[in-house]
């Protein structure tokens, strides 16, 4: 926390550059560089609360960075690189063919709700979701519009919560993320079990 406070003090002293810095970091996250979208949202909202004259610039920076990051992950890594990813150890451990099939099934069954709920699930689930959409050749326009809606809901929600309630909101958001994550795991587990049971019944 001390390091974070020092970093916030430094950024706060150069807040006019913060929207570009946050956008740049999230842009890199699209290439699977480990940059936390949640941390960027929290940082931008806290800066906005302390510097209200930069509120809109900071929100636009974090929102544009998050959305473009999703498109890069989907388009360049998922669709362009495609199955070559499975030859790269780093990506292969994150998105297995089995996980790809499961997430694709969710896309087919639940559509846009998969992206909306997926953005609230922690533990690196988001990038796996976008990669799966790209690898599964999900229609580009459909993905772009669906993710725009999903990104808008999550960014507006978290930015507003952090801007309004500050650091106190962090623990509550963490707890809610864990609940949503646990629910998603249970749903995915049930879905896999159901598919396995149906395959066994037809074989």
pLDDT in tens, 116-160: 888 877 656 787 788 888 887 888 998 999 899 989 999 999 899
Does residue 102 surpass a pLDDT of 50? yes
Whole-number CA gyration radius for the chain = 18
Q: In this structure, what DSSP letter does residue 88 have?
A: S
Is the CA virtual torsion 77, 82, 88, 93 positive or negative? positive
Q: Say which residue the tokens 């909101």 belong to.
A: 169
Q: Using CA atoms, how far apart are residues 156 and 165, in angstroms rounded to an integer? A: 14
pLDDT, position 3: 47
113 has a pLDDT exceeding 60: yes
Q: What pTM, to 2 d.p., does this model score? A: 0.74
Task: Count Cβ atoms below 10 Å from residue 37 Cβ, excluding itself.
Answer: 22
> Mean pLDDT lowest for which of 10-24, 63-77, 124-138, 185-199?
185-199
* Per-residue pLDDT tens digits for 46-97: 899 889 999 999 999 999 999 999 999 899 888 888 777 767 766 666 666 7
Instruction: Say whether pLDDT at 173 is over 70.
Output: no
Of all residues in the chain, the percent with pLDDT exceeding 90 is 23
């Amino acid at each position: 926390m001390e390091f974070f406070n020092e970093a916030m003090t430094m950024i706060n002293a150069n807040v006019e550059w913060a929207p570009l810095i946050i956008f740049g970091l999230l842009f890199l996250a699209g290439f699977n560089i480990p940059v936390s979208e949640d941390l960027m949202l929290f940082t931008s909202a806290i800066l906005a609360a302390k510097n209200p004259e930069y509120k809109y610039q900071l929100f636009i920076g974090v929102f544009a960075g998050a959305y473009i990051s999703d498109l890069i992950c989907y388009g360049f890594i998922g669709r362009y690189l495609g199955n070559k990813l499975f030859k790269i150890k780093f990506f292969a451990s994150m998105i297995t063919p089995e996980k790809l099939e499961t997430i694709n099934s969710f896309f087919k069954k639940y559509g846009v709700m998969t992206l909306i709920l997926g953005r609230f699930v922690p533990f690196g689930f988001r990038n796996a979701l976008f990669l799966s959409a790209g690898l599964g050749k999900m229609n580009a326009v459909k993905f772009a519009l669906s993710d725009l809606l999903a990104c808008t809901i999550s960014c507006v929600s978290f930015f507003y919560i952090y801007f309004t309630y500050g650091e106190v909101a962090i623990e509550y958001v963490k707890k809610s993320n864990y609940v949503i994550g646990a629910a998603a795991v249970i749903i995915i587990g049930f879905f896999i079990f159901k598919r396995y049971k149906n395959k066994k019944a037809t074989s």
